[in-house]
């Protein structure tokens, strides 16, 4: 992650490769008169030419020989009255992308114009502009031979009055998301369950206690739904439990699906797109991102993370369709499809939380169903749950971070979709309604504990570039859940 420098200087005196000046399409540019003078009037001439009208995400680059800055970028932020946090993120990112494509690798944002707009949001304009710029400048280059990130922004500055505290939060939110993207982008031969455990252990802080439950102990605890999923793989499962203690009372439990590769198992997936199933641990990645941020921010909350990490492969010792297995809470499950493995891992994780952690609430986040991606595409995660207040809090955090969630119904009748002839439940039913059926499956394991489920199958990975994430891992859920736990007592 590139470092953000908070610059306290006048625009005209900033030395950088590019000075980025945001403009509204419906207000005058006179705030920049000192810069304009320094450039000999190049900016005002560009504006008067009519070619730059400051439309949302429009940019124009002007070379400014003889000035402290090598160039100026005019960055359109659209109509002032339409400005909000999300438009700021996208404006920041659009400017950075443009910088990159012009082979300019450092820049400094001005925020003077933006400050004249009143935002409804918690943070300043500078915060969101920088958030978008930092998120948008991420690129996963680990496996490229080219010297790491030859063609990436290396340094960003912002002229703002952000406080140290605000900048700290900004860095924490961005780092949480980018950390999640790093893990999701990593291939399954490297990001195994034990590698996930190492990443968890590497998040060190005096307020975090990490416990890795290995196969034997998991067996003793009766987590056979979870363990069955990993039987076909030589990679051993790791049930990761991280307790962050920053406050008083019972913890919020965050559970992230952590299937490091989902081949489908004996119910093998088709060839097309199977390589993407390395992202089946995106829920776990988002949760780890949150845990990292919690310790950085020293938040006064108690949060316990559970990552039931496992790999789903076919093999001579793999679990099979037709098997009946018993979850930690005694529920027997008929395995109809070994590809409906996520819910098996989550069932035991939720069951573990209920049994041992006295949670005030449980939120799970998972790339759980293809049906979720069919229903909502890449625009929103599906949300279902048993508790109105909890879901409303998640909706609020979602609106604040623009990691969108959309509530789907959890009618009682969906429970019938997964009733088995031979066991208490089956893990897969008909294709219709399978998004809701998967949530209905999980609901029983939470019992009376307030619980919500986020299905990020459609949003954790993008096949196209998005405003501030290039195609690939999006980091979905990390910023949303961080905001959610940060505000849990508000």
Which residues of the shown chain bind Zn ion in the complex (CB under 5 A)? Answer: 259, 262, 280, 342
**C-alpha span between 322 and 342 (Å, rounded):** 17
**C-alpha span between 21 and 91 (Å, rounded):** 11
User: How far is C-alpha 72 from the geometric centre of its chain's CA atoms?
Assistant: 32
The catalytic position among 80, 139, 269, 326 is 269
Please classify residue 321 by burial: count the beta carbons closer than 10 Å to its beta carbon, then call 0-12 exposed, 13-18 middle and 19+ buried.
Answer: middle
Q: Is 367 in the site for ligand BES (CB under 6 A)?
A: yes
- How many CB atoms sit inside 10 A of residue 93's CB? 24
Rank residues 249 and 377 by Cβ distance to ligand BES and give the closer one: 377
Tell me the β-bridge partners of 23: 76
**C-alpha span between 184 and 139 (Å, rounded):** 13
Three-class DSSP category at 212 = strand
- How many CB atoms sit inside 10 A of residue 69's CB? 22
Rank residues 171 and 263 by Cβ distance to Mn ion and give the closer one: 263
**C-alpha span between 46 and 43 (Å, rounded):** 5
Q: Which residues bind Mn ion (CB under 5 A)?
A: 262, 339, 341
Q: How far is the CB of 341 from ligand BES (least distance, A)?
A: 5
Q: How far is the CB of 368 from Mn ion (least distance, A)?
A: 9
Residue 373 partner contact from Mn ion, Zn ion, ligand BES, none using kind-dependent CB cut-offs of 5 to 8 Å: ligand BES
Site for ligand BES in 242-281 (CB under 6 A): 262, 280
If phi > 0 it is left, if psi is from -120 to 50 it is alpha, else beta; for residue 475 that is left
User: How far is C-alpha 22 from the geometric centre of its chain's CA atoms?
Assistant: 27
**CA-to-CA separations, 33 to 10, 38, 69, 216, 257, in angstroms, rounded:** 11, 9, 15, 70, 53
Q: Is 318 in the site for ligand BES (CB under 6 A)?
A: no
Residue 369 partner contact from ligand BES, Zn ion, Mn ion, none using kind-dependent CB cut-offs of 5 to 8 Å: ligand BES
Rank residues 106 and 337 by Cβ distance to ligand BES and give the closer one: 337
* Token pair in block for residue 151: 């063609």
Size of the site for ligand BES (CB under 6 A): 16
Rank residues 125 and 267 by Cβ distance to ligand BES and give the closer one: 267
The answer to whether the beta carbons of residues 199 and 208 sit under 8 Å apart is no
Give me the torsion for CA of 246, 179, 354, 243, rounded to 10°.
Answer: -30
The answer to whether the beta carbons of residues 18 and 106 sit under 8 Å apart is yes
Q: How far is the CB of 88 from ligand BES (least distance, A)?
A: 30
343 assigned to active site: yes
Rank residues 167 and 340 by Cβ distance to ligand BES and give the closer one: 340
Contact range with ligand BES by CB under 6 A, out of 40-48, 320-328, 367-375, 465-473: 367-375
Q: How far is the CB of 227 from Mn ion (least distance, A)?
A: 16
The catalytic position among 231, 278, 343, 393 is 343
Residue from 125, 428, 469, 474 in contact with ligand BES (CB under 6 A): 428
Q: Is 434 in the site for ligand BES (CB under 6 A)?
A: yes
Contact range with ligand BES by CB under 6 A, out of 156-164, 362-370, 378-386, 472-480: 362-370
Q: Is 381 in the site for ligand BES (CB under 6 A)?
A: no
Rank residues 9 and 268 by Cβ distance to Mn ion and give the closer one: 268
The answer to whether the beta carbons of residues 114 and 129 sit under 8 Å apart is yes
Q: How far is the CB of 197 from ligand BES (least distance, A)?
A: 21
Residue 337 partner contact from Zn ion, Mn ion, ligand BES, none using kind-dependent CB cut-offs of 5 to 8 Å: ligand BES
Q: How far is the CB of 372 from Zn ion (least distance, A)?
A: 11
Q: Is 442 in the site for ligand BES (CB under 6 A)?
A: no
Of the candidates 173, 171, 149, the one whose C-alpha atom is nearest the C-alpha of residue 158 is 171
**C-alpha span between 91 and 103 (Å, rounded):** 19
**C-alpha span between 422 and 336 (Å, rounded):** 11
Q: Is 457 in the site for ligand BES (CB under 6 A)?
A: yes
269 assigned to active site: yes
Rank residues 294 and 366 by Cβ distance to Mn ion and give the closer one: 366
**Phi, psi angle pair for 209, to nearest 5°:** -115, 125
Residue 113 partner contact from Zn ion, ligand BES, Mn ion, none using kind-dependent CB cut-offs of 5 to 8 Å: none
Contact range with ligand BES by CB under 6 A, out of 78-86, 134-142, 370-378, 383-391: 370-378
If phi > 0 it is left, if psi is from -120 to 50 it is alpha, else beta; for residue 92 that is alpha
Contact range with ligand BES by CB under 6 A, out of 29-37, 59-67, 335-343, 443-451: 335-343
Rank residues 166 and 262 by Cβ distance to Zn ion and give the closer one: 262
Three-class DSSP category at 418 = helix
Of the candidates 277, 261, 210, the one whose C-alpha atom is nearest the C-alpha of residue 239 is 210
For binding to ligand BES (CB under 6 A), which residues are involved? Answer: 262, 280, 337, 339-342, 367-371, 373, 428, 434, 457
Instruction: Return the active site residues.
Output: 269, 343
């Amino acid at each position: 992650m590139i470092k953000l420098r908070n610059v306290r200087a006048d625009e005209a005196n900033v030395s950088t490769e590019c000075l980025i000046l945001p403009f509204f399409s419906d207000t005058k540019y006179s705030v920049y008169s000192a810069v304009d003078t320094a450039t000999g009037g190049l900016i005002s001439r560009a504006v008067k030419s009519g070619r730059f009208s400051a439309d949302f995400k429009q940019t124009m680059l002007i070379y400014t020989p003889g000035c402290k800055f090598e160039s100026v970028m005019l960055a359109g932020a659209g109509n002032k009255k339409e400005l909000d946090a999300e438009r700021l993120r996208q404006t920041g990112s659009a400017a950075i992308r443009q910088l990159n494509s012009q082979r300019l690798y450092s820049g400094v944002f001005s925020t003077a114009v933006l400050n004249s707009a009143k935002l409804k949001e918690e943070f300043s304009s500078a915060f969101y502009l920088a958030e978008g710029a930092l998120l948008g400048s991420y690129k996963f280059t680990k496996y490229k031979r080219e010297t790491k990130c030859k063609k990436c922004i290396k340094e960003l500055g912002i002229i703002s009055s952000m406080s140290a505290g605000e900048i700290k939060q900004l860095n924490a939110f961005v780092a949480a998301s980018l950390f999640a993207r790093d893990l999701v982008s990593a291939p399954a031969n490297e990001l195994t369950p034990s590698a996930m455990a190492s990443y968890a252990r590497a998040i060190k802080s005096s307020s975090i206690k990490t416990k890795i439950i290995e196969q034997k102990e998991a067996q003793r605890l009766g987590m056979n739904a979870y363990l069955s999923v990993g039987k076909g793989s030589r990679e051993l499962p790791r049930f990761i439990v991280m307790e962050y203690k920053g406050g008083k009372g019972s913890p919020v439990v965050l559970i992230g699906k952590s299937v490091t590769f989902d081949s489908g198992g004996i119910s093998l997936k088709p060839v097309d797109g199977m390589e993407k199933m390395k992202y089946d641990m995106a829920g776990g990645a988002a949760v780890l991102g949150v845990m990292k941020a919690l310790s950085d921010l020293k938040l006064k909350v108690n949060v316990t993370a559970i990552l039931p990490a496992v790999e789903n492969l076919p093999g001579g010792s793999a679990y099979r369709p037709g098997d009946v297995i018993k979850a930690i809470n005694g529920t027997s499950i008929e395995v109809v499809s070994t590809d409906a493995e996520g819910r098996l891992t989550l069932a035991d994780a939720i069951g573990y939380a209920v049994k041992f952690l006295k949670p005030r609430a449980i939120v799970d986040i998972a790339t759980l169903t293809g049906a979720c991606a069919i229903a909502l595409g890449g625009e929103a995660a599906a949300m279902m749950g048993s508790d109105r207040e909890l879901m409303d809090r998640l909706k609020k955090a979602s609106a604040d971070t623009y990691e969108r969630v959309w509530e789907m119904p959890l009618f009682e009748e969906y429970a019938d979709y997964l009733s088995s002839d031979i066991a208490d439940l089956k893990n897969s039913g008909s294709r219709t309604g399978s998004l809701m059926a998967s949530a209905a499956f999980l609901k029983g394991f939470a019992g009376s504990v307030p619980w919500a489920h986020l299905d990020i199958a459609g949003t954790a990975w993008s096949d196209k570039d998005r405003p501030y994430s290039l195609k690939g891992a999006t980091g979905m859920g990390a910023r949303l859940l961080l905001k959610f736990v940060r505000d849990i007592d508000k």
